[in-house]
């Protein structure tokens, strides 16, 4: 996982629908729920022109439409922006929920359609009165990239300033690499800045991403209030390609394909990798420029490169369980009926309908901080099961390091007032090195209900994707004392789990304490140690049969309180 530092924004507010009025910033998303996928018909056309190559996405609140940049190099038709209707009215995206409703041709500096192969339009950003388009150019023939402003009718207004270091020399030693140029553009919510980035490293800045090798892309920030000023530049680390090489000659690529600005310094970044014979993977990261060192003065990055932007994994699309196509565009959409905000991702079919599709994925996004108690929920199954959550805070209480079961338990220092919700949570991790009991953490990942064995109840689990150290704060509350502070119900269950009644049914009682530390009264060992390290004890002063607790030291008597 990325270990670059990141400052976070935690706002307990819902994100309003962004209309024409600009907002200063958008809160960091705290949960993502996949709400459906749709595809355009293979080989779809609009007014006789192929629909394809959708490489960047923006939402227009005024019309309720999505605008998608087609990366047609004026070969299949004129350079153009496609207008899409995406049906999210029910809070879900139905399989047939996307349609093409229009197109907007782009005109060059002379007011004419762009000549064939004179551009490679990939990045796209929308403002109330302008369009911004980023072209990758064509490095192998020395065709320069550009970022330009157009009016809402698609007519060219101006080129944004761009330093010569981005211009390809045609020999692959300087400038953007072939098909790895300005793939992404994004406007800050307040309208002041335009962001853009190279998909991978410039030729002079080091290697492009490969197996076991990351890359240093350049992230640019133009001040739209200073039209003649060149952009600031920062380093954004691109992840190495995941997996094992299927063969020495297999084509593979990983790069930054789109940006979505949350503020003047914080963005969402979509990375997509493709490995021939394996397929597509995609991940969504939170990027923060607050601590990044500008590299504006460097034509070639020094070694080691200056401090890069902070980066934190929010969402791994591999957990969706669907075959991913060439995902390249991302945008917030309209507010959903339940108050959450939609997030839409679109794929580029490379104008190859026989092999690829135009795929649209939709998510419901929330911005309210998520607690351990909310992840657990008042029941045997988490209301967040299947979702990705971020920024969940707690203190580590125990480590688990077994071959088939690695991770840690952690617990909230600020319990809620709901007796039914546990304040503990198990975090599954591939490696627990560097995590210690007592550490205050902020974690993110996918929530699952894991069944540890046959005929066992599930355990609410967070599959770790991102981990941050949180500032040391208040201590954990004292663990409650069983029988004296918490009375254990005598019946196991009388409703086949139809009702959740921790005060009535023991099976619900223990679920409401899942993963939490507890205190036993002074107890006497009443049986041999079992195969899983459990011992049978008789609590002092409690008229009850044996109760299991684990782990404990062997011995005839156990005259201490066991905290678990």
Angstrom distances, CA of residue 316 to CA of 45, 185, 320, 345: 32, 22, 8, 13
| Residue 128 and residue 239 share a domain | yes
| Residue 284 and residue 410 share a domain | no
Question: What is the length of the chain?
Answer: 564
| pLDDT tens-place string over residues 150-166 | 999 999 999 999 999 99
- Say if 11 falls within a structural domain: no
Question: Domain boundary residue among 440, 469, 498?
Answer: 469
| Residue 274 and residue 343 share a domain | yes
Q: In which order are the strands placed within the sheet that holds 279-288?
A: 252-261, 266-275, 279-288, 310-316
Question: Domain boundary residue among 469, 499, 520?
Answer: 469
Does the pLDDT value for residue 308 go beyond 90? yes
Look at residue 556 in the predicted model and tell me its pLDDT: 31
- Say if 545 falls within a structural domain: no
- Say if 26 falls within a structural domain: no
The token duo for 18 is: 């962004």
| pLDDT tens-place string over residues 198-227 | 999 999 999 999 999 999 999 999 999 998
Residues 6+ apart with CB under 8 A from 21: none
- Say if 345 falls within a structural domain: yes
Percent pLDDT > 70 in the chain is 92
245 confidence band (pLDDT: 50, 70, 90): confident
| Residue 391 and residue 433 share a domain | yes
| Residue 448 and residue 426 share a domain | yes
Q: What is the CATH number of the domain that holds 431?
A: 2.40.50.140
Which among 271, 268, 341, 229 has a CA at the least distance from the CA of 6? 268
Number of domains in the chain: 2
Q: What is the CATH number of the domain that holds 208?
A: 2.115.10
- Say if 479 falls within a structural domain: no
- Say if 2 falls within a structural domain: no
User: CA–CA separation, 557 vs 527, rounded Å?
Assistant: 10
For range 134-149, the mean pLDDT: 95
Phi, psi of 102 (to 5 degrees): 175, 175
Does the pLDDT value for residue 333 go beyond 90? yes
| Residue 80 and residue 213 share a domain | yes
| Residue 123 and residue 220 share a domain | yes
| Residue 378 and residue 360 share a domain | no
Q: For residue 193, what are the β-bridge partners?
A: 223
| Residue 325 and residue 177 share a domain | yes
| Residue 219 and residue 344 share a domain | yes
User: CA–CA separation, 71 vs 98, rounded Å?
Assistant: 19
For range 320-332, the mean pLDDT: 96
- Say if 138 falls within a structural domain: yes
CB 213 within 8 A of CB 238: no
- Residue 410's domain comprises 372-469
The token duo for 74 is: 């004026």
527 confidence band (pLDDT: 50, 70, 90): confident
| Residue 116 and residue 241 share a domain | yes
| Residue 357 and residue 390 share a domain | no
544 confidence band (pLDDT: 50, 70, 90): low
User: 349-379 burial, b for 16+ CB within 10 Å, e for fewer?
Assistant: bebebeebbbbbbbbbbbbbbbbbbbbbbbb
- Say if 500 falls within a structural domain: no
Question: Domain boundary residue among 469, 489, 507?
Answer: 469
For range 32-52, the mean pLDDT: 96
């Amino acid at each position: 996982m990325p270990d670059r530092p990141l400052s976070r924004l935690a706002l307990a507010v819902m994100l309003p629908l962004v209309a024409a009025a600009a907002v200063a910033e958008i809160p960091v998303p705290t949960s993502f729920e996949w709400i459906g996928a749709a595809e355009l018909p293979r080989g779809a056309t609009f007014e006789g022109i192929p629909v394809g190559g959708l490489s960047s996405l923006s939402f227009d609140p005024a019309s309720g439409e999505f605008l998608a940049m087609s990366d047609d190099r004026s070969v299949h038709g004129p350079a153009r922006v496609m207008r899409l209707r995406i049906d999210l009215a029910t809070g879900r995206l139905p399989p047939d929920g996307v349609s093409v409703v229009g197109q907007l041709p782009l005109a060059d500096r002379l007011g004419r359609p762009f000549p064939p192969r004179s551009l490679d339009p990939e990045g796209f950003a929308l403002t109330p009165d302008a369009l911004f388009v980023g072209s990758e150019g064509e490095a192998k023939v020395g065709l320069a990239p550009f970022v330009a402003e157009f009016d809402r009718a698609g007519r060219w207004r101006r080129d944004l300033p761009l330093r010569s270091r981005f211009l390809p020399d045609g020999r692959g030693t300087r400038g953007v690499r072939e098909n790895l140029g300005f793939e992404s553009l994004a406007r800050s919510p307040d309208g002041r800045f335009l962001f853009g980035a190279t998909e991978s490293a410039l030729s002079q800045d080091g290697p492009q991403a490969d197996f076991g090798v990351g890359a240093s892309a350049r992230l640019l920030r133009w001040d739209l209030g200073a039209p003649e000023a060149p952009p600031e530049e920062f380093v954004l680390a691109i992840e190495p390609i995941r997996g094992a090489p299927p063969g020495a000659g297999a084509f593979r690529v990983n790069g930054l394909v789109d940006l979505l600005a949350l503020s003047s310094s914080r963005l969402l970044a979509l990375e997509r990798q493709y490995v021939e014979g394996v397929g597509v993977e995609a991940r969504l990261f939170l990027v923060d420029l607050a601590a990044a060192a500008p590299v504006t003065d460097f034509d070639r990055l020094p070694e080691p490169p200056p401090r890069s932007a902070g980066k934190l994994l929010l969402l791994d699309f591999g957990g969706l369980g669907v075959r991913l196509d060439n995902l390249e565009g991302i945008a917030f959409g309209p507010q959903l009926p339940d108050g959450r905000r939609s997030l839409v991702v679109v794929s580029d079919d490379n104008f190859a309908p026989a092999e690829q599709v135009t795929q649209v994925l939709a998510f419901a996004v929330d911005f309210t901080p998520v607690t351990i108690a909310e992840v657990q929920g008042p029941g045997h199954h988490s209301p967040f099961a299947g979702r990705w959550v971020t920024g969940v805070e707690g203190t580590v209480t125990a480590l688990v390091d077994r071959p088939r079961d690695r991770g840690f338990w952690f617990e909230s220092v600020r319990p809620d007032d709901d007796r039914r919700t546990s304040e503990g949570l198990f975090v599954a991790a591939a490696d627990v090195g560097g995590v210690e009991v007592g550490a205050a953490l902020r974690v993110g990942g996918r929530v699952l209900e894991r069944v540890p064995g046959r005929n066992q109840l599930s355990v609410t689990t967070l599959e770790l994707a991102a981990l941050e150290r949180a500032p040391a704060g208040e201590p954990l509350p004292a663990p409650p004392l069983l029988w004296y502070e918490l009375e254990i119900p005598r019946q196991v269950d009388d409703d086949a789990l139809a009702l959740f009644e921790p005060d009535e049914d023991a099976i619900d009682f223990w679920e409401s304490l899942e993963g939490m530390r507890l205190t036993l009264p002074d107890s006497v060992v009443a049986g041999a140690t079992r195969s899983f390290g459990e011992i049978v004890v008789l609590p002092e002063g409690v008229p009850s049969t044996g109760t299991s607790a684990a782990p404990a030291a062997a011995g005839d008597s156990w005259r201490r309180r066991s905290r678990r």
